[in-house]
A and B are shown apart, each in its own frame.
Chain A
Amino acid sequence: MSNEVKPTYTLDERGEVCPVPDVDTRRKLKEMKSGEVLEVLIDYALSKERIPAGVKDVGGEVISIEEIGPSEWRLLIKKL
């Protein structure tokens, strides 16, 4: 897609145990500057549901959740 947002950083959290994907995402977001975009790759549905609820209080906003394979998702999160 031409209007696709380019991520500043990428975290590949596939295969990690609970709650490492959530914790790593929050940590990375805390370090990031306003306007930067984080790409997170996950393969667990619970994280897909919990990360969007949890990033708000570290100043993040989920801009898209895309299914990239069976039980695999790509989240784009923007630091506000």
Chain B
Amino acid sequence: MDPRWQGLLVGILFGIVLQRGRICFNSAIRDVKMTKDNYLMKMALVAILVETIGFQLAAQLGWIKLNPLPLIPLAQIIGGFLFGMGMVLAGGCASGITYRIGEGYVTAFVAAVFFGVTASAVRGGPLSFINNWLGKPITTTNNPNGFYAAKDGAVNLTIANLLNINPWIIAIIFAILLLIIVIYWKTTERKVSGLNWITGGISLGIVGIIAYLSQKTYPLGITGGWVNLFRTTTANLDLTQPIPYNWMGMEIVGVIIGAFVAALIAKEFRFRAPKDPKTFAQVALGGILMGIGAGSAGGCNIGHILSGLPHLAISSIIFTIFAVLGNWLMVWYLFERR
């Protein structure tokens, strides 16, 4: 099957799970600090746990080569921080604003357009000078068990290849740690009408594994998809030519369709817009910060947190830490100061 059809189908699945599980990494990170609510965080941890073992197993069986995102420390520190602040302003992470378009959120659409355009500008557009400032990737030649994708012998850094030990060891330690947290951290009580934290987390993890098996080069992502959609659409307006939309671009279209259908069936679709026009300026600014952050850091909450952490990639660990710090700073500024 054409990879674009595969991307579309995986995207639809992803959109349904995001909508039914109400999965948003902005809420997951924020709620832990602001309201001591860990419901969505635990869902995310379950997904990362499932993927950690799933990716490793798929690599062991030779179905994929693990492909951690490149480590450019400044890019992940600054990019992660800006992304973390941006998602609070935008009212959702990269995947959150994408699936909420399918639920009829006008502000999510505005945030996503500013996010996509800015990320495109950073990745090979007029803002690409930002990437030149941030430096070049740090790689290694260690490739334990040949699990990792190598380019001219160079492999992106993970904890396992940094220490040059079997990646299973790190994956199992990480999975056990996650399991302990998931079991012993008391879950916030909540009456849910969609997927609960366990089924939502497992479903999300499985969609991530299916995505990796389908796309081969990486599991789920959002930023690359929006960049593909914007750049292809604006650069190739000659519709007689074949259009180079790719797996990830079609995945984005799928997420919106999947969320739309799921919301429609659950009677949760509705056009919603805030009364105060200032909110639109706020979400646009959030989209821009997210676009600069994810565009330069090499990924967003999905590329780095959901898909990158299960690799135990150093880049994704740094991005996650700084995205959390950026998120918490903005949460304090917007909601907790007085």
A residues sitting closer than 8 Å to B (CB atoms) are 14-20, 22-23, 26, 43-46, 49-50, 52-54, 57, 70-72
Q: Do B22 and A14 touch (CB < 8 A)? A: no
Given that A18-B92, A45-B268 are known contacts, is A54 also in contact with B37, CB under 8 Å in the complex?
Answer: yes
B24:A43 contact, CB within 8 angstroms: no
Q: Which residues of B contact A15 (CB under 8 A)?
A: 272-275
Q: B56 near A: Cβ within 8 Å?
A: no
Of B92, B269, B272, B275, most buried by chain A (CB within 10 Å of CB) is B272
**Residue B151 lies at the interface, judged by CB distance under 8 Å to chain A:** no
- A49 to B269, Cβ gap below 8 A? no
Give 20 A-B pairs besides A15-B275, A18-B91 with Cβ atoms closer than 8 angstroms: A15-B273, A16-B274, A17-B279, A17-B282, A17-B283, A19-B31, A19-B335, A23-B335, A26-B35, A45-B22, A45-B266, A46-B24, A49-B192, A50-B31, A50-B37, A52-B191, A57-B35, A70-B267, A71-B267, A71-B269
The interface size of chain B toward A, counting residues with CB under 8 Å, comes to: 36
Nearest B residue to A69 by beta-carbon distance? B270
Count A-B pairs with CB separation below 8 Å. Answer: 72
Bound-state Cα–Cα, A29 to B279, Å: 23
Write out the residue numbers on chain A whose beta carbons fall within 8 Å of the beta carbon of B279.
Answer: 16-17
CB neighbours of B39 from chain A (8 A)? 50, 53
Residue of A14, A18, A22, A54 touching B24 (CB-CB under 8 A): A18
User: Which chain A residues lie closer than 8 Å to B193 at the CB level?
Assistant: 45, 49
A56 (CB) vs chain B CBs: closest residue: B189
A53 touching B189 by the CB < 8 A rule? yes
Set of chain A residues within 8 Å of B158, measured between Cβ atoms: none
Cβ distance A53 to chain B, nearest Cβ, rounded Å: 5
Cα–Cα, bound, A27→B109 (Å): 28
Complex partner residue of A49 from B34, B190, B272, B275, CB under 8 angstroms: B190
- B191 CB, min distance to chain A CBs, angstroms: 6
Does chain A have a CB within 8 A of B131?
Answer: no
Enumerate chain B residues within 8 angstroms of A46, measured Cβ to Cβ: 22, 24, 27
Q: In whole angstroms, how far apart are the Cα atoms of A70 and B273 in the complex?
A: 15
CA A54 to CA B34, docked complex, whole Å = 10
Say how far A38's CB is from chain B's closest CB, in angstroms. Answer: 17
B268 touches A17 (CB 8 A): no
Of the candidates A20, A52, A53, A71, the one whose C-beta lies within 8 Å of that of B270 is A71
Q: How far is the CA of A70 from the CA of B265 in the complex (A)?
A: 12
